[in-house]
Chains A and B, each alone.
Chain A
Amino acid sequence: MIEINKSIDKSVPLLLLLLYLLGNVCLAELRGSGDLGVVIERERGSVLIIETSKRSILARVEKLGDLSHASVVFSRDQRYAYVFGRDGGLSKIDLLQDKLVRRVVQAGNSIGGAISQDGRFIAVANYQPGGVKIFTSDTLELVADIPAVYGDDKRSRVVGLVDAPGRQFVYSLFDAGEIWLLDMRDPSRIEIQKFSDIGRQPYDALLTPDGRYYLAGLFGESGLALLDLWHPEEGVKRILPEYGKDDEKLPVYKMPHMEGWSVTGNLAFVPAVGLHQVLVIDMLQWRLVKSIPVAGQPVFVMARPDGRQIWVNFAFPDNQQVQVIDVEDLSVSRTLQPGKGVLHMEFTPRGEEVWISVRDDNQILVYDTRSFQEMARLPAVSPSGIFFTSRAAKTGL
């Protein structure tokens, strides 16, 4: 016994030396984070950290709660991912050390969030209790709690939260039919501008890539609500009030999303609610250019970063396919069948490839966006959202 102890004592310096050497080896593997990303595994409550250069999975980070409908934003140094869970959880993940840094459960039910222009603040949109909460991005400390109160003390669910230039956040109140513009210039004195009567049940919104226009989709009526952030004093305007009036609306089995850069040149591409159509809007005059017939009710309508193609996925029961719209023709040029339950798509930073999550097949498919060839298949457990760190530098994402 004693002898063994002695030998351990002797080996301590040796062990230290070994650890030191190991540490150096780890340091030798310094890497950047511009080609990293995360994939949500909704049922497992975990995320995969992936890498797009070699199309590989690097790690899994677990215990993140209920991740149905989870979304992600990135710190401006592209090292940290902030994951917004359905159960109100806000988790900060270190992509270089593959670990959960901090997690707060800040509400009962939430829908997504945004990071401020300067990267200092994280805003979360909550359903229950309805409102927005703002946290510091480094320590996740609560900075402000802004209940979405309307009418006689009712609280609305909040949707379509985005960051905007000038350290602002913009979001919509689903139940109240309002848009709120939150000015964080002075974080200790947040100013709120409210726009009411913007239309019934705004369900999601997009910010144009230049950060100028906030466009909210309406579920409760036709048309979209438009706010020009260069001229908020002009108020919210209604555009395309007549769209889909003559078509018979189908029941909606999954709410469409507007997030994603679906803007290319002067054209914005948005999903039509309850119709098998993608709407093309001319952003100079804010009128409908065309409604493109597609294979189902669109959910995500996303522009390839160079704006040449628009990729579309669909709601139940058409969610086994993906269609590609050619921006020059404004018509569908390709139909792909990635598998059952296509939930999300994400382009590599410059768009040569697209990653697609296929929930029921427990797979992520990677396609070349020029040849449409399948480049890789990666295993993931019920994957949903895919988010790459290149989002860090994009306003409104």
Chain B
Amino acid sequence: MWRCLLLLCFATSAAAGKPDPQRQRELRSLLKNDCGACHGLTRKGGLGPPLLPEALAGKSDAELLRTIQEGRPGTAMPPWKPFVDADETLWLIEELLRKQPVSMEHGG
């Protein structure tokens, strides 16, 4: 399982830039379900702070990239490096800044 995921990471990082559509789906699902476990399904926060565009505005990509890749030691924010590489993380950040979660558009 781990090896599989790692392989996937390498495979996609080799191509660099934007993840392919299949990987994009996986990353969206990761964002919704696994980040959502702490930041909320609608990203309005939970154990972790809200990740809505307003909340992240003014934070640099570099800072967000480091937080997601390395986690924040001493807090509940874990490092995601084993599962998402830097390019994929940048794509995730773009998603976070650009879009409201789907379930919010339905009015929740």
Contacts and interface: CB of A to CB of B under 8 A. Distances in A.
Contacts of B76: 201, 219, 252, 255
A86 B78 CA distance: 22
Given A127-B45, A341-B33, A251 B71 contact: yes
Contact of A87 (B32, B44, B79): B44
B36 A68 contact: yes
Given A45-B103, A45-B108, A359-B33, A253 B78 contact: yes
Contacts of A201: 76
A219 B103 CA distance: 30
B24 to A, nearest CB: 16
A68 B108 contact: no
Contacts of A318: 1
A109 B47 CA distance: 10
Contacts of B79: 251
Identify the interface centre among A65, A86, A128, A254: most chain B CB within 10 Å of its CB: A86
A316 to B, nearest CB: 5
B108 A109 contact: no
A86 B50 CA distance: 13
A353 interface: no
Nearest to B36: A68
A65 B108 contact: yes
A295 to B, nearest CB: 10
B97 interface: no
A317 B5 contact: yes
A43 interface: yes
Contacts of A87: 42, 44, 108
A42 interface: yes
Interface residues of A, number: 32
A359 B32 CA distance: 12
A317 B2 contact: yes
Contacts of B78: 251-253
B57 to A, nearest CB: 19
Interface in A71-128: 86-87, 108-109, 111, 127-128
Contacts of A108: 44
Identify the interface centre among A68, A86, A201: most chain B CB within 10 Å of its CB: A68
B56 interface: no
Nearest to B73: A251
Contacts of B5: 317
B37 interface: yes
Interface string A312-331: 00001110100000000000
Contacts of A320: 1
Nearest to B4: A317
A203 B37 CA distance: 14
Contacts of B42: 66, 68, 86-87
Contacts of A66: 40-42, 44, 103, 108
Interface in A34-59: 42-43, 45
A189 B40 CA distance: 35
B21 to A, nearest CB: 18
B93 interface: no
Nearest to B74: A220
A69 interface: yes
Interface string A278-321: 00000000000000000000000000000000000000111010
Given A255-B76, A317-B83, A109 B33 contact: no
A219 B76 CA distance: 8
A290 B21 CA distance: 46
Interface in B30-66: 32-34, 36-38, 40-42, 44-47
Interface of B: 1-2, 5, 29, 32-34, 36-38, 40-42, 44-47, 71, 76, 78-79, 83, 103, 108
Please give me the 5 A-B residue pairs with the lowest Cβ-Cβ distance, nearest first.
A68-B41, A251-B78, A254-B37, A316-B34, A66-B108
17 contacts: A45-B103, A68-B41, A68-B42, A69-B40, A87-B42, A87-B44, A109-B46, A128-B45, A251-B79, A253-B34, A255-B76, A316-B34, A316-B37, A317-B1, A317-B2, A317-B5, A318-B1
Given A157-B47, A174-B47, 6 more contacts: A45-B103, A68-B46, A86-B42, A252-B76, A253-B37, A254-B38
